[in-house]
Amino acid sequence: MSVLRKESFKIREELKMKKLIVLLLAILVPASVAFGAPGKPLKIGAVLNFTGPAAMLGPLFKNGIVKALEENDNKVAGRPIELIVEDGATDVTTCLEKARKLVERDKVKIIIGPLMGDAHLAIAPYMANKKVLITTLYCGDIKLGDYRNWLTYPTTLVGLTLPLGWYAHDSGYKTMVMITSDYAGGHGFMKGVRMGFEEKKGKVVQEVFVPVGTADFGPYISTLKDADCVSFFVPNTGESSRLITQYREFGVKMPLLGTTLAADLPQAVMKELGHNVIGVRGQATYIWSRDDPVNNQWVKAMEKRFGATPGGLENNSYCITSAILKALKATGGDDTFSRLWPVVVRVQLDTPQGPLSFTPEGIAITDGYIVEAKVIGGKYVWDPIKVYPQVLDPRLEK
Protein backbone atom coordinates (compact mmCIF):
# COMPACT_ATOMS: atom_id res chain seq x y z
CA MET A 1 0.00 0.00 0.00
CA SER A 2 2.76 2.50 0.95
CA VAL A 3 4.57 1.68 -2.31
CA LEU A 4 1.41 2.50 -4.23
CA ARG A 5 1.04 5.74 -2.30
CA LYS A 6 4.65 6.65 -3.06
CA GLU A 7 4.09 5.97 -6.74
CA SER A 8 0.89 7.97 -6.76
CA PHE A 9 2.59 10.87 -4.96
CA LYS A 10 5.46 10.76 -7.42
CA ILE A 11 3.07 10.86 -10.38
CA ARG A 12 1.11 13.77 -8.89
CA GLU A 13 4.33 15.75 -8.26
CA GLU A 14 5.48 15.12 -11.81
CA LEU A 15 2.16 16.29 -13.13
CA LYS A 16 2.37 19.43 -11.01
CA MET A 17 5.87 20.11 -12.31
CA LYS A 18 4.72 19.67 -15.90
CA LYS A 19 1.78 22.01 -15.35
CA LEU A 20 4.13 24.56 -13.81
CA ILE A 21 6.51 24.34 -16.73
CA VAL A 22 3.68 24.70 -19.26
CA LEU A 23 2.34 27.68 -17.33
CA LEU A 24 5.75 29.34 -17.25
CA LEU A 25 6.20 28.78 -20.99
CA ALA A 26 2.75 30.15 -21.70
CA ILE A 27 3.69 33.36 -19.91
CA LEU A 28 7.29 33.72 -21.03
CA VAL A 29 7.08 32.86 -24.75
CA PRO A 30 4.45 35.47 -25.70
CA ALA A 31 6.27 38.00 -23.52
CA SER A 32 9.56 37.30 -25.23
CA VAL A 33 7.89 37.62 -28.64
CA ALA A 34 6.26 40.93 -27.60
CA PHE A 35 9.39 42.49 -26.17
CA GLY A 36 11.93 41.02 -28.58
CA ALA A 37 13.58 38.12 -26.87
CA PRO A 38 17.34 37.96 -27.22
CA GLY A 39 18.11 35.86 -30.31
CA LYS A 40 14.93 36.69 -32.23
CA PRO A 41 15.93 38.51 -35.43
CA LEU A 42 15.08 42.17 -35.74
CA LYS A 43 14.12 42.99 -39.30
CA ILE A 44 14.99 46.30 -40.91
CA GLY A 45 13.71 46.98 -44.41
CA ALA A 46 15.16 49.30 -47.02
CA VAL A 47 13.66 50.53 -50.29
CA LEU A 48 16.54 51.68 -52.49
CA ASN A 49 16.95 52.22 -56.22
CA PHE A 50 19.04 49.68 -58.13
CA THR A 51 17.34 50.18 -61.48
CA GLY A 52 15.83 53.14 -63.30
CA PRO A 53 17.26 56.68 -63.60
CA ALA A 54 18.64 56.63 -60.04
CA ALA A 55 20.14 53.15 -60.33
CA MET A 56 23.60 54.35 -59.39
CA LEU A 57 22.44 55.60 -55.99
CA GLY A 58 21.05 52.42 -54.45
CA PRO A 59 24.41 50.68 -53.91
CA LEU A 60 25.83 53.82 -52.25
CA PHE A 61 22.94 54.14 -49.82
CA LYS A 62 23.18 50.43 -49.09
CA ASN A 63 26.87 50.77 -48.24
CA GLY A 64 26.04 53.32 -45.58
CA ILE A 65 23.39 51.10 -44.02
CA VAL A 66 25.64 48.04 -44.10
CA LYS A 67 28.51 49.94 -42.45
CA ALA A 68 26.29 51.16 -39.62
CA LEU A 69 25.03 47.63 -39.02
CA GLU A 70 28.52 46.13 -39.16
CA GLU A 71 29.77 48.63 -36.60
CA ASN A 72 27.17 47.13 -34.27
CA ASP A 73 28.08 43.56 -35.22
CA ASN A 74 24.77 43.30 -37.05
CA LYS A 75 22.86 43.07 -33.81
CA VAL A 76 21.26 45.23 -31.17
CA ALA A 77 20.38 44.29 -27.59
CA GLY A 78 21.28 40.71 -28.36
CA ARG A 79 18.96 40.51 -31.37
CA PRO A 80 20.58 39.76 -34.74
CA ILE A 81 19.54 42.24 -37.40
CA GLU A 82 18.19 41.02 -40.71
CA LEU A 83 18.41 43.67 -43.41
CA ILE A 84 15.89 43.19 -46.22
CA VAL A 85 16.63 45.40 -49.21
CA GLU A 86 14.12 45.93 -52.00
CA ASP A 87 14.54 47.72 -55.33
CA GLY A 88 12.22 50.71 -55.71
CA ALA A 89 13.27 51.03 -59.39
CA THR A 90 13.02 54.85 -59.14
CA ASP A 91 9.30 54.40 -59.65
CA VAL A 92 6.53 55.47 -57.26
CA THR A 93 4.31 52.46 -57.88
CA THR A 94 7.16 50.02 -57.40
CA CYS A 95 8.24 51.78 -54.19
CA LEU A 96 4.74 51.45 -52.81
CA GLU A 97 4.52 47.77 -53.75
CA LYS A 98 7.88 46.99 -52.19
CA ALA A 99 7.09 48.93 -49.04
CA ARG A 100 3.83 47.00 -48.67
CA LYS A 101 5.65 43.74 -49.19
CA LEU A 102 8.14 44.61 -46.45
CA VAL A 103 5.36 45.41 -44.02
CA GLU A 104 2.84 42.71 -44.87
CA ARG A 105 5.00 39.78 -45.86
CA ASP A 106 8.30 40.42 -44.08
CA LYS A 107 6.66 42.04 -41.04
CA VAL A 108 9.24 44.80 -40.72
CA LYS A 109 8.55 47.72 -38.43
CA ILE A 110 11.43 49.92 -39.58
CA ILE A 111 12.02 50.96 -43.20
CA ILE A 112 14.90 53.07 -44.54
CA GLY A 113 13.96 54.89 -47.74
CA PRO A 114 12.64 55.41 -50.34
CA LEU A 115 14.55 58.24 -51.97
CA MET A 116 12.11 60.18 -54.13
CA GLY A 117 9.77 62.81 -52.72
CA ASP A 118 6.78 61.65 -54.73
CA ALA A 119 7.23 58.15 -53.34
CA HIS A 120 7.26 59.54 -49.78
CA LEU A 121 3.93 61.24 -50.25
CA ALA A 122 2.46 58.16 -51.91
CA ILE A 123 3.38 55.73 -49.14
CA ALA A 124 3.03 58.07 -46.15
CA PRO A 125 -0.67 57.39 -45.37
CA TYR A 126 -0.15 53.62 -45.58
CA MET A 127 2.93 53.70 -43.33
CA ALA A 128 1.16 55.89 -40.80
CA ASN A 129 -1.75 53.46 -40.75
CA LYS A 130 0.57 50.51 -40.21
CA LYS A 131 2.62 52.33 -37.57
CA VAL A 132 5.96 51.73 -39.23
CA LEU A 133 9.00 53.87 -38.47
CA ILE A 134 10.21 55.08 -41.85
CA THR A 135 12.95 57.43 -42.99
CA THR A 136 13.82 59.57 -45.96
CA LEU A 137 17.24 59.21 -47.56
CA TYR A 138 17.79 62.70 -48.89
CA CYS A 139 15.28 65.15 -47.39
CA GLY A 140 11.54 65.12 -47.42
CA ASP A 141 8.54 67.40 -47.52
CA ILE A 142 7.64 69.14 -44.25
CA LYS A 143 4.21 67.43 -44.46
CA LEU A 144 5.89 64.15 -43.51
CA GLY A 145 6.37 65.62 -40.04
CA ASP A 146 2.59 65.67 -39.59
CA TYR A 147 2.44 61.88 -39.72
CA ARG A 148 4.80 61.56 -36.74
CA ASN A 149 6.36 58.34 -37.98
CA TRP A 150 8.93 59.70 -40.44
CA LEU A 151 12.55 60.53 -39.71
CA THR A 152 13.25 63.22 -42.27
CA TYR A 153 16.98 63.27 -42.82
CA PRO A 154 19.03 65.44 -43.20
CA THR A 155 16.18 67.94 -43.03
CA THR A 156 13.18 69.11 -45.05
CA LEU A 157 13.47 70.03 -48.72
CA VAL A 158 13.33 73.71 -47.79
CA GLY A 159 15.73 73.33 -44.87
CA LEU A 160 18.30 71.74 -47.14
CA THR A 161 18.46 74.54 -49.67
CA LEU A 162 17.86 77.58 -47.45
CA PRO A 163 21.63 77.96 -46.99
CA LEU A 164 22.11 78.21 -50.78
CA GLY A 165 19.65 81.10 -50.92
CA TRP A 166 21.42 82.80 -48.00
CA TYR A 167 24.78 82.18 -49.63
CA ALA A 168 23.68 83.66 -52.97
CA HIS A 169 22.83 86.89 -51.19
CA ASP A 170 25.94 86.79 -49.00
CA SER A 171 28.00 86.52 -52.22
CA GLY A 172 26.62 89.86 -53.37
CA TYR A 173 23.99 88.61 -55.83
CA LYS A 174 20.86 90.74 -55.87
CA THR A 175 18.86 88.99 -58.61
CA MET A 176 18.41 85.34 -59.49
CA VAL A 177 16.92 83.13 -62.18
CA MET A 178 15.69 79.70 -61.04
CA ILE A 179 15.45 76.49 -63.06
CA THR A 180 13.14 74.08 -61.26
CA SER A 181 12.33 70.46 -62.04
CA ASP A 182 8.56 70.33 -62.19
CA TYR A 183 7.65 67.77 -59.53
CA ALA A 184 7.07 67.76 -55.77
CA GLY A 185 10.75 67.42 -54.83
CA GLY A 186 11.86 70.06 -57.30
CA HIS A 187 9.35 72.61 -56.09
CA GLY A 188 10.31 71.87 -52.50
CA PHE A 189 14.05 72.26 -53.03
CA MET A 190 13.78 75.49 -54.96
CA LYS A 191 11.27 76.91 -52.49
CA GLY A 192 14.07 76.78 -49.92
CA VAL A 193 16.48 78.63 -52.22
CA ARG A 194 13.86 81.30 -52.89
CA MET A 195 12.97 81.62 -49.18
CA GLY A 196 16.61 82.01 -48.18
CA PHE A 197 17.34 84.49 -50.97
CA GLU A 198 14.22 86.61 -50.51
CA GLU A 199 14.61 86.58 -46.72
CA LYS A 200 17.76 88.65 -47.31
CA LYS A 201 15.94 90.90 -49.82
CA GLY A 202 17.18 89.21 -53.00
CA LYS A 203 14.85 89.17 -56.02
CA VAL A 204 13.95 86.17 -58.16
CA VAL A 205 13.38 87.62 -61.64
CA GLN A 206 12.38 84.39 -63.39
CA GLU A 207 11.53 80.78 -62.55
CA VAL A 208 11.62 78.27 -65.41
CA PHE A 209 9.94 74.90 -64.84
CA VAL A 210 11.35 71.91 -66.70
CA PRO A 211 9.68 68.49 -66.86
CA VAL A 212 11.38 65.60 -65.10
CA GLY A 213 13.49 63.67 -67.57
CA THR A 214 14.24 66.65 -69.81
CA ALA A 215 16.84 65.64 -72.35
CA ASP A 216 17.46 68.91 -74.17
CA PHE A 217 17.65 72.03 -72.01
CA GLY A 218 18.55 74.18 -75.02
CA PRO A 219 15.09 75.73 -75.47
CA TYR A 220 14.98 76.70 -71.79
CA ILE A 221 18.52 78.07 -71.69
CA SER A 222 17.80 80.31 -74.67
CA THR A 223 14.95 82.02 -72.75
CA LEU A 224 16.85 82.82 -69.53
CA LYS A 225 16.67 86.45 -68.47
CA ASP A 226 19.71 88.38 -67.26
CA ALA A 227 20.37 88.13 -63.55
CA ASP A 228 23.29 88.00 -61.14
CA CYS A 229 23.12 84.20 -60.86
CA VAL A 230 21.20 81.09 -61.88
CA SER A 231 20.16 78.50 -59.33
CA PHE A 232 18.76 75.15 -60.31
CA PHE A 233 17.49 71.79 -59.20
CA VAL A 234 17.05 68.87 -61.57
CA PRO A 235 16.90 65.34 -60.23
CA ASN A 236 19.69 62.81 -60.80
CA THR A 237 23.11 62.86 -62.31
CA GLY A 238 22.06 62.60 -65.94
CA GLU A 239 19.89 65.70 -65.96
CA SER A 240 22.31 67.76 -63.83
CA SER A 241 25.22 66.94 -66.09
CA ARG A 242 23.22 67.62 -69.28
CA LEU A 243 22.07 70.97 -67.92
CA ILE A 244 25.57 72.04 -66.92
CA THR A 245 27.10 70.89 -70.22
CA GLN A 246 24.42 72.53 -72.38
CA TYR A 247 24.51 75.69 -70.24
CA ARG A 248 28.22 76.04 -70.92
CA GLU A 249 27.79 75.19 -74.61
CA PHE A 250 25.35 78.05 -75.02
CA GLY A 251 27.97 80.39 -73.58
CA VAL A 252 25.82 81.66 -70.70
CA LYS A 253 28.04 83.53 -68.26
CA MET A 254 25.78 83.87 -65.19
CA PRO A 255 27.23 81.95 -62.19
CA LEU A 256 25.58 78.57 -61.59
CA LEU A 257 24.35 77.49 -58.17
CA GLY A 258 23.09 73.91 -58.05
CA THR A 259 21.21 72.44 -55.11
CA THR A 260 22.11 68.77 -54.77
CA LEU A 261 25.19 68.62 -56.97
CA ALA A 262 27.65 67.36 -54.39
CA ALA A 263 25.59 64.17 -54.13
CA ASP A 264 24.58 63.93 -57.80
CA LEU A 265 28.03 64.57 -59.23
CA PRO A 266 30.69 62.44 -57.54
CA GLN A 267 34.36 62.62 -58.49
CA ALA A 268 34.15 60.24 -61.45
CA VAL A 269 31.33 62.23 -63.01
CA MET A 270 33.03 65.56 -62.31
CA LYS A 271 36.12 64.29 -64.12
CA GLU A 272 34.02 63.45 -67.16
CA LEU A 273 32.35 66.87 -67.07
CA GLY A 274 35.81 68.40 -66.93
CA HIS A 275 36.10 72.18 -67.25
CA ASN A 276 32.31 72.51 -67.58
CA VAL A 277 31.81 71.85 -63.88
CA ILE A 278 34.63 74.04 -62.53
CA GLY A 279 33.29 77.06 -60.67
CA VAL A 280 29.80 75.64 -60.19
CA ARG A 281 28.72 76.05 -56.59
CA GLY A 282 26.21 74.01 -54.69
CA GLN A 283 24.93 72.89 -51.38
CA ALA A 284 26.00 69.67 -49.69
CA THR A 285 24.87 67.69 -46.69
CA TYR A 286 28.27 66.16 -46.16
CA ILE A 287 31.92 66.84 -46.96
CA TRP A 288 34.31 63.91 -46.86
CA SER A 289 37.27 66.22 -46.21
CA ARG A 290 35.71 67.68 -43.05
CA ASP A 291 38.50 67.62 -40.48
CA ASP A 292 36.85 66.02 -37.46
CA PRO A 293 37.88 62.88 -35.52
CA VAL A 294 34.52 61.15 -36.02
CA ASN A 295 34.51 61.91 -39.73
CA ASN A 296 38.18 61.10 -40.29
CA GLN A 297 37.75 57.68 -38.70
CA TRP A 298 34.57 56.97 -40.65
CA VAL A 299 36.07 57.96 -44.00
CA LYS A 300 39.06 55.65 -43.43
CA ALA A 301 36.76 52.81 -42.40
CA MET A 302 34.53 53.27 -45.45
CA GLU A 303 37.52 53.43 -47.80
CA LYS A 304 38.86 50.22 -46.31
CA ARG A 305 35.48 48.45 -46.45
CA PHE A 306 34.25 49.58 -49.88
CA GLY A 307 37.38 50.78 -51.66
CA ALA A 308 36.12 54.30 -52.37
CA THR A 309 35.89 57.64 -50.59
CA PRO A 310 32.35 58.02 -49.23
CA GLY A 311 30.05 60.86 -50.18
CA GLY A 312 26.82 62.38 -48.98
CA LEU A 313 24.68 59.43 -49.95
CA GLU A 314 26.59 56.87 -47.89
CA ASN A 315 26.74 59.40 -45.06
CA ASN A 316 22.98 59.96 -45.07
CA SER A 317 22.04 56.30 -44.84
CA TYR A 318 24.82 55.63 -42.32
CA CYS A 319 23.71 58.45 -40.00
CA ILE A 320 20.01 57.61 -40.10
CA THR A 321 20.72 53.92 -39.50
CA SER A 322 23.04 54.80 -36.61
CA ALA A 323 20.35 56.96 -35.04
CA ILE A 324 17.83 54.11 -35.27
CA LEU A 325 20.30 51.62 -33.79
CA LYS A 326 21.03 53.97 -30.88
CA ALA A 327 17.31 54.22 -30.20
CA LEU A 328 16.90 50.44 -30.42
CA LYS A 329 19.68 49.99 -27.86
CA ALA A 330 17.77 52.32 -25.54
CA THR A 331 14.56 50.31 -25.95
CA GLY A 332 16.36 47.02 -25.34
CA GLY A 333 15.78 45.90 -28.91
CA ASP A 334 12.06 46.63 -28.81
CA ASP A 335 11.08 47.78 -32.30
CA THR A 336 7.38 48.33 -31.63
CA PHE A 337 6.51 51.77 -32.90
CA SER A 338 4.95 53.15 -29.71
CA ARG A 339 8.14 52.38 -27.77
CA LEU A 340 10.66 53.27 -30.45
CA TRP A 341 9.34 56.59 -31.81
CA PRO A 342 9.54 58.71 -28.62
CA VAL A 343 13.09 57.42 -28.07
CA VAL A 344 14.41 57.93 -31.59
CA VAL A 345 13.29 61.56 -31.83
CA ARG A 346 15.30 62.28 -28.68
CA VAL A 347 18.48 60.73 -30.05
CA GLN A 348 21.54 62.97 -30.19
CA LEU A 349 24.56 61.78 -32.08
CA ASP A 350 27.96 62.97 -33.26
CA THR A 351 28.04 61.86 -36.88
CA PRO A 352 30.59 62.22 -39.69
CA GLN A 353 28.48 65.12 -40.93
CA GLY A 354 28.35 66.86 -37.56
CA PRO A 355 25.93 66.95 -34.63
CA LEU A 356 22.57 65.30 -35.28
CA SER A 357 19.33 65.68 -33.37
CA PHE A 358 15.62 65.63 -34.24
CA THR A 359 12.58 67.78 -33.71
CA PRO A 360 9.51 66.15 -32.10
CA GLU A 361 8.12 65.79 -35.65
CA GLY A 362 11.13 63.64 -36.56
CA ILE A 363 12.89 66.23 -38.71
CA ALA A 364 16.65 66.08 -38.40
CA ILE A 365 18.69 69.14 -37.47
CA THR A 366 22.08 69.10 -39.20
CA ASP A 367 24.76 71.41 -40.61
CA GLY A 368 24.54 72.68 -44.21
CA TYR A 369 27.61 73.20 -46.41
CA ILE A 370 28.21 75.34 -49.47
CA VAL A 371 30.75 73.83 -51.85
CA GLU A 372 32.48 74.78 -55.08
CA ALA A 373 33.74 72.44 -57.82
CA LYS A 374 37.52 72.75 -58.09
CA VAL A 375 40.55 70.80 -59.12
CA ILE A 376 42.80 70.34 -56.08
CA GLY A 377 45.92 68.22 -56.31
CA GLY A 378 44.84 66.98 -59.73
CA LYS A 379 41.51 65.69 -58.38
CA TYR A 380 38.05 67.08 -59.02
CA VAL A 381 36.53 67.88 -55.64
CA TRP A 382 33.63 69.72 -54.05
CA ASP A 383 35.59 72.15 -51.88
CA PRO A 384 33.68 73.47 -48.83
CA ILE A 385 33.59 77.24 -48.78
CA LYS A 386 31.01 77.94 -46.07
CA VAL A 387 29.16 76.15 -43.26
CA TYR A 388 25.70 77.03 -41.97
CA PRO A 389 25.38 75.21 -38.63
CA GLN A 390 22.27 73.37 -37.40
CA VAL A 391 19.85 74.52 -40.07
CA LEU A 392 16.16 74.26 -39.22
CA ASP A 393 13.25 74.82 -41.57
CA PRO A 394 11.86 78.21 -40.37
CA ARG A 395 8.29 76.93 -40.65
CA LEU A 396 9.02 74.56 -37.77
CA GLU A 397 10.04 77.36 -35.49
CA LYS A 398 6.53 78.81 -35.47
**Binding map of another protein across residues 265-294, x = CB under 8 A, - = no contact:** ---xx--xx---------------------
Give the nearest distance from C-beta 133 to another protein in angstroms: 28
Nearest by Cα to 145 from 374, 361, 289: 361
Residue 242 binds to another protein (criterion: CB under 8 A):
yes
Residue 38 binds to another protein (criterion: CB under 8 A):
no
Residue 359 phi, psi (nearest 5): -80, 165
Kindly indicate which of the ranges 238-246, 278-286, 322-330, 347-355 contains the residues binding another protein, using the contact rule CB under 8 A. 238-246
Nearest by Cα to 321 from 157, 125, 116, 113: 113
Distance, CA of 312 to CA of 57 (rounded, Å): 11
Among 33, 34, 39, 250, binds another protein (CB under 8 A): 250
* Burial degree of 297 (CB within 10 A; 0-12, 13-18, 19+): exposed
Among 181, 241, 317, 322, binds another protein (CB under 8 A): 241
Q: What 3-state class would DSSP assign to 370?
A: strand
Residue 134 binds to another protein (criterion: CB under 8 A):
no
Among residues 252 and 330, whose Cβ is nearest to another protein?
252
Kindly indicate which of the ranges 94-102, 231-239, 319-327, 357-365 contains the residues binding another protein, using the contact rule CB under 8 A. 231-239
Among residues 269 and 330, whose Cβ is nearest to another protein?
269
Give the nearest distance from C-beta 97 to another protein in angstroms: 18
Q: Which residues are paired to 110 by β-bridges?
A: 133
CA distances from 92 to 136, 142, 151, 183, 302 (A): 14, 19, 19, 13, 30
Q: Which residues are paired to 259 by β-bridges?
A: none
**Binding map of another protein across residues 163-202, x = CB under 8 A, - = no contact:** -------------------x--------------------
Number of H-type helices and E-type strands within the chain? 14, 15
Give the nearest distance from C-beta 186 to another protein in angstroms: 13
Among residues 252 and 294, whose Cβ is nearest to another protein?
252
Residue 210 binds to another protein (criterion: CB under 8 A):
yes
Give the contacts of 135 (CB within 8 A, at least 6 positions apart).
111, 112, 113, 150, 151, 152, 153, 320, 324
Among 72, 74, 171, 245, binds another protein (CB under 8 A): 245
Among residues 251 and 378, whose Cβ is nearest to another protein?
251
Residue 309 binds to another protein (criterion: CB under 8 A):
no
Residue 332 binds to another protein (criterion: CB under 8 A):
no
* Burial degree of 6 (CB within 10 A; 0-12, 13-18, 19+): exposed
Distance, CA of 41 to CA of 294 (rounded, Å): 29
Q: At what angle do helices 58-71 and 293-306 cross, to 10 degrees?
A: 110
Q: Which residues lie near another protein (CB under 8 A)? A: 50-53, 55-59, 182, 208-211, 213-216, 218-220, 222-223, 236-238, 241-242, 245-246, 249-251, 268-269, 272-273
